[in-house]
Amino acid sequence: MMTGERGFTLIEILISLAIFAVVVIGALGVLGAAGSGGFLESFPTGLAATRVARDITAASVYLQTFNEYAMGLNSSTLTAGTYSATPGATCSTTLTFTGSGLGAPPAPPGPPCNYPYQLNWQTLTVVIDPPWYACFNTSGTPLPCTATAPCFVKYSKASDSSCNTDTTKESLVLIDAKLAWQYCPRPTACVARTLEMDRFLP
């Protein structure tokens, strides 16, 4: 029977692990893994790429939601112009574009509201174009296209050499929405990003 055998203490195990970690990191540095382009360096880059992808996804989903909201509006009540909104001091789930006719569209997900995913948005700019009217060829060339039997050519904001707009017919309104936000991996290293989406309203 053997007695008096001594095992490793916790302190000795921790010291051994620390020495092992130093050796491994040194070896990886020699192999280039910890240098520029190495896989150790890729960890923060990978996290940043994931955050950027999430931001773009959140911005895209929001702009799609905004466009779906706009589709429910009567385009004849919209006023052409450029309108912008910024985050308020208090949480609001809707935005106000005074004089635009847009009503109360949903606000982007971000401060000061406590959304599950925070998008650090800065501005939402909405451009409402003047109406695009149906444009008809009444020139007689080709022969079927006459004043009594006009041929539809396209939608246009004004007449041109190929057709004449008819303001008594149906029209379309183009709404362009641009969302700007910031990605800040560090407080002093913010990067401005934007995403833009447009849609014609009948």
Task: Report residue 7 as tokens.
Answer: 């095992």
Residue among 64, 99, 91 nearest 179 (CA): 64
Residue among 106, 95, 102 nearest 61 (CA): 106
Task: Return the minimum-mean-pLDDT range out of 28-37, 76-85, 116-125, 184-193.
Answer: 28-37
Q: What is the rounded (10 degree) CA torsion for 156, 162, 168, 170? A: -50
Instruction: Summarize pLDDT for 138-192 with one digit per residue, the tens.
Output: 998 888 899 999 999 999 999 999 999 999 988 999 999 999 999 887 777 888 9
Instruction: List CB contacts of 104: < 8 A, sequence separation 6 or more.
Output: 94, 95, 96
Indicate the SS3 state at residue 123: strand
Q: Which residues pair with 133 in a beta bridge?
A: 156, 171
Residue among 147, 112, 151, 116 nearest 134 (CA): 151
Max CA distance (Å), the chain: 117
Task: Report residue 11 as tokens.
Answer: 């302190």
Confidence of residue 42 (pLDDT cuts 50, 70, 90): very low
Instruction: Summarize pLDDT for 67-112 with one digit per residue, the tens.
Output: 999 999 999 899 999 999 999 889 999 999 999 999 999 999 888 8
Task: Return the minimum-mean-pLDDT range out of 8-22, 49-63, 158-172.
Answer: 8-22
- The answer, yes or no, to whether residue 35 has pLDDT greater than 50, is no
Indicate the SS3 state at residue 174: strand
Per the listing, tokens 């939402």 go with: 124
Kindly report the CA angle at 158 between 175 and 80, in degrees rounded to 5?
30
